[in-house]
Homo-oligomer: A and B are copies of this chain.
Amino acid sequence: MSGKPVLHYANTRGRMESVRWLLAAAGVEFEEKFLEKKEDLQKLKSDGSLLFQQVPMVEIDGMKLVQTRAILNYIAGKYNLYGKDLKERALIDMYVEGMADLYDIIMNHDFKPANEKEKDLANIMDKATNRYLPVFEKVLKDHGHDFLVGNKLSKADVSLLENILWLEELKPDALAKFPLLQSFKARMSNMPNIKKFLQPGSAKKPLIQEKDIPNVMAIFH
């Protein structure tokens, strides 16, 4: 037992990627056990490791945590990425929850049938550029700080960076109208822990490849 958190999921972004991001931003090394076939998931279910028979699951501090938000909240609380008081936590939660809605549609984009992809991308970009990104551009503009809440790194900043980068993978000029988000992205990407996570060979997962999609679907369905 190394004492490091152990992440159980498929070898793909999905619902575990936010957890990898947050641990990385906190400078916490972790191990990963990848589910490669349905039997791997079945085994975890049969040995009672998955409270609701689902992954993500993270073994950390003697617990087998499931449910992405429970995992993220625990990591954020433990590593001081959750603000200094209830009101800062409320702001962080609001921002993260808004971004979670965006993340869901981004994450599902790869799994859309080919004939729906263009329309889906247009919807994602519409929501991003009209509903979500303007909010965070304004937050940064209004207080002029480097971070979204309390002038200190929090899980809201990590979530925003993760979403921004994925949006740019889908459409390189996604941040064209958002100068403060562009400088936010540059600043955040340059922070030592995050810079390391953005380098090849890190735990950060690439976009899923077309050929791997059936395999991933088979594990979960």
Interface residues in chain A, defined as those with a beta carbon under 8 Å from any beta carbon in chain B:
51-53, 61, 63, 65-71, 73-74, 77-78, 86-87, 89-90, 93-94, 96-98, 101, 131-132, 135
In Å, the complex CA distance between A135 and B64 comes to 14
Q: Which of B51, B97, B131, B132 contacts A94 (CB 8 A)?
A: B51
- In-complex Cβ contact of A51 among B66, B69, B78, B135 (8 A): B135
Measured in the bound complex, the distance between the Cα atoms of B53 and A50 in whole Å is: 36
* Beyond known contacts A52-B98, A61-B87, A78-B86: 10 more, CB 8 A cutoff: A52-B132, A52-B135, A67-B93, A67-B94, A69-B69, A69-B97, A73-B93, A74-B89, A74-B90, A74-B93
Dominant secondary structure of chain A at its interface with chain B: helix
Q: How far is the CA of A132 from the CA of B54 in the complex (A)?
A: 12
Q: Is the CB of A67 within 8 A of B131?
A: no
CA separation between A127 and B77, bound complex, in Å?
A: 31
Q: What copy number does this chain have within its complex?
A: 2
Decide: B86 and A74 in contact? CB cutoff 8 A: yes
- CB-defined contacts of A94 to chain B, threshold 8 Å: 51, 65-67, 70
> Shortest Cβ distance from A13 into chain B, in angstroms?
19
Contact A93 B78 (CB under 8 A): no
Given A52-B131, A61-B87, A87-B63: A97 in contact with B70 (beta carbons within 8 A): yes
A53 neighbours in B (Cβ, 8 Å): 131
The answer to whether B52 and A73 touch across the interface, beta carbons within 8 angstroms, is no
Q: Which residues of B contact A135 (CB under 8 A)?
A: 51-52
For A90, list chain B residues within 8 Å (CB): 63, 65, 70-71, 73-74
Which residue of B67, B71, B89 is within 8 Å of A73 (Cβ)?
A: B89
